[in-house]
Amino acid sequence: MTNQVEVLRIISKLKPEVIIHAAAYTAVDECEYEQKKAFEVNSLGAFHVGIAAKNVGAKMVYISTDYVFDGDKTSPYVEEDQPNPKNVYGMSKWLGEQLVQLTLEELYVVRTSWLYGSCGKNFVKTMLKLAEQKQEIKVVDDQIGSPTYTKDLADVIMQIIGKSYGVYHVSNTGSCSWYTFAKHIFKQAGFDPYLIQPTTTEAYGALAPRPAYSVMAHKSLEKEKLEVPRRWEEAVKEFIKEELRRD
């Protein structure tokens, strides 16, 4: 992605009709000291893909994040709200949004949040591993967002393609803190939720600042008469069942 010549060569060879651009540097804390890498991948990399998409006449879906917002609201963020990221990761993704919007008209910017799924590392998998150790865990209770199952995100993206271009917020419905999320994971997997103790963002001491509130409304989906994703609790329950079956 960071090599524009290679991106143009590969996309020109493949000639896709649609590019779903999911690649990103998503290690939020690491982005704070790997700033060059964050902007090269999340901003310039997206720009390269956007240019390549335009060259072959492809539509593009750019996956972005709730972390483009500062978290100062107390009601769900709508697509028209002005981004104001608090960390390098959020800034690099917002710049990516702007660059692809300047490059390409046939574009869907899909902001999502708190992703988990069968591939790669994520919060749900981490909690399940920690649960097996049966040790007390401290989890932040003053950041509120919407956990999102990658399966549900993928389903909605496929429905968005062919609809009006623009910005879409796609997350599972409802909201919770990381602490509430963790307790729900433990309960669904049959572990003792009282092993989890709440803590504050300040006490936890993560390197990158996070938005205290990053719940997103689904106005664009509703406008296009698309079904809003199911409740986050239901999605987590299904995912954990599948994970336990896989083990």
AA letter at 198: P
- In angstroms, the CA 180 to CA 218 distance is 22
Per-residue pLDDT at 120: 87
Per-residue pLDDT at 211: 97
Q: E strand or H helix at 161, and its extent?
A: none
Q: For the chain, how many structural domains are there in total?
A: 1
User: For the segment 207-224, what is each residue's pLDDT rounded down to a tens digit?
Assistant: 999 999 999 999 999 999
Mean pLDDT of 216-238: 97
Q: CATH no. for residue 44?
A: 3.40.50.720
Buried (b) or exposed (e) across 55-67, using 16+ Cβ within 10 A? eeebbbbbbbbbb
Per-residue pLDDT at 246: 76
Least confident of 17-31, 80-94, 105-119, 126-140: 126-140
Q: Which of 62, 77, 89, 116 is catalytic?
A: 89
Catalytic residue check, 89: yes
Q: At what angle do helices 46-56 and 4-14 cross, to 10 degrees?
A: 30
User: For the segment 157-197, what is each residue's pLDDT rounded down to a tens digit?
Assistant: 999 999 999 999 999 999 999 999 999 999 999 999 889 99
Per-residue pLDDT at 247: 65
- In angstroms, the CA 96 to CA 47 distance is 7
Q: How many CB atoms lie within 10 A of CB 29?
A: 14
What distances in angstroms separate CA 237 from CA 44, 119, 124, 232, one per listed residue? Answer: 37, 17, 11, 9
DSSP-based three-state secondary structure for 67: helix
Name the residue among 184, 191, 189 with its Cα closest to residue 136.
Answer: 191
Percent of the chain with pLDDT over 70: 100
The domain containing residue 159 runs over which residues? 4-246
- State both tokens at 107: 């574009």
- In angstroms, the CA 137 to CA 194 distance is 9
User: For the segment 41-99, what is each residue's pLDDT rounded down to a tens digit?
Assistant: 999 999 999 999 999 999 999 999 999 999 999 999 999 999 999 999 999 999 999 99
- State both tokens at 56: 């072959």
Per-residue pLDDT at 134: 80
